[in-house]
């Protein structure tokens, strides 16, 4: 994280902002699955409704690197001139075009902006989706099933989303699946039934936003 020499005034204003900001409703739904999140526009609206009162503002910058990844960094500013810049977060679009990059950037902007302002934009999964599941190390339910793995309802919703997106984008289901997984750095050989709950939710959200020519 980068910051100005002093952030005393910024820290005070951010504390005041966080005590007053109204957390946005998680009103974006995944079809067939009881998962909700806050879309980017609602995160921005929640912030801008309160931030000006405390002299806070922000800028977000799209990035890219030599590995073909796109990313986002967020600059939080205070009217005093103090500032904090977040570390960049990156993801790899499966298709290197403007629409593929745009979908990933929108997703990353929501996470980066929510993190720096303290907005709760996603349901808490207690870190269960932080890595690809390891069958030998993660806790299991009775009957040998992993607690963190995709649920039957999620798997059904994911398959439905893939099928619908394939028709909408005039592609096949394998192409949609591979494109979505690559966008979140999930190896193509990881079967859908081996995804974590959070990975499944992220893929469903992403696939539901795919438009023609994105895949």
Place of tokens 């607690």: 147
In this structure, are 184 and 95 located in the same domain?
Answer: no
Same domain for 75 and 6? yes
Residue 143 lies in a domain: no
Structural domain total, the chain: 2
Q: In the predicted model, what is the mean pLDDT of residues 31-58?
A: 81
What pLDDT score was predicted for residue 11? 96
Residues 29 and 80 in one domain: yes
Q: Which of 103, 94, 49, 38 is nearest to 69 (CA)?
A: 94
Asked, for residue 122, whether it belongs to a domain, the answer is no
Domain range spanning residue 160?
152-208
Domain shared by 13 and 87, yes or no:
yes
Could you tell me if 104 and 159 lie in one domain? no
Nearest CA among 121, 197, 177, 201 for reference residue 210? 177
Where does residue 60 rank: exposed (0-12), middle (13-18), buried (19+ CB within 10 A)?
Answer: middle
Residue 144 placed within a domain: no
Are residues 21 and 112 part of one domain?
yes
Of 96, 125, 115, the closest CA to residue 214 belongs to 96
Q: Mean pLDDT throughout 158-181?
A: 86
Residue finishing a domain among 67, 100, 117: 117
181 and 85 part of one domain:
no
Residue 145 counted as domain residue: no
Averaged pLDDT score across all residues of the chain: 80
Instruction: Tell me, yes or no, whether 110 and 157 share the same domain.
Output: no
- pLDDT at position 136 is 36
Tell me the pLDDT band of 127, cut-offs 50, 70 and 90. Answer: very low
Residue 137 lies in a domain: no
Last residue of some domain: 117, 141, 172?
117
CA separation (Å) from 200 to 20, 68, 117, 130? 33, 24, 26, 12
Bigger pLDDT: 93 or 80?
Answer: 80
Residue 102: in which H helix or E strand, if any? helix 98-117
What pLDDT, on the 0 to 100 scale, is given for residue 189? Answer: 78
Same domain, 9 and 109: yes
- Look at residue 46 and tell me if it is in a domain: yes
Does residue 129 register a pLDDT over 50? no
For residues 97 and 158, membership in a common domain is answered with no
Considering the domain architecture, whether residues 10 and 81 belong to the same structural domain is answered as yes
Give yes or no: residues 100 and 176 share one domain.
Answer: no
**Boundary residue ending a domain (117, 132, 167):** 117
Task: Please report whether residue 59 resides in a domain.
Answer: yes
What is the band of 94 on the pLDDT scale with cuts at 50, 70, 90? low
Q: Is residue 126 part of a domain?
A: no
């Amino acid at each position: 994280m980068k910051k100005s020499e002093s952030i005393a005034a910024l820290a005070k204003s951010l504390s005041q902002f966080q005590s007053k900001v109204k957390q946005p409703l998680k009103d974006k739904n995944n079809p067939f699955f009881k998962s909700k999140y806050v879309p980017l526009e609602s995160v921005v609206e929640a912030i801008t409704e309160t931030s000006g009162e405390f002299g806070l503002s922000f800028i977000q910058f799209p990035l890219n690197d030599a590995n073909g990844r796109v990313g986002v960094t967020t600059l939080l500013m205070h009217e005093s001139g103090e500032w904090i810049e977040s570390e960049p977060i990156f993801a790899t679009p499966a298709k290197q075009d403007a629409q593929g990059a745009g979908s990933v950037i929108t997703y990353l902007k929501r996470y980066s902006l929510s993190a720096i302002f303290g907005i709760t934009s996603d349901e808490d999964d207690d870190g269960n989706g932080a890595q690809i599941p390891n069958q030998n190390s993660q806790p299991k339910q009775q009957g040998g099933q992993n607690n963190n793995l995709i649920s039957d309802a999620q798997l059904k919703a994911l398959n439905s989303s893939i099928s619908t997106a394939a028709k909408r984008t005039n592609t096949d289901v394998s192409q949609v699946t591979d494109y979505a997984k690559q966008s979140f750095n999930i190896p193509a050989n990881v079967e859908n039934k081996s995804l974590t709950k959070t990975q499944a939710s992220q893929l469903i959200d992403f696939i539901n936003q795919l438009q023609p020519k994105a895949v």
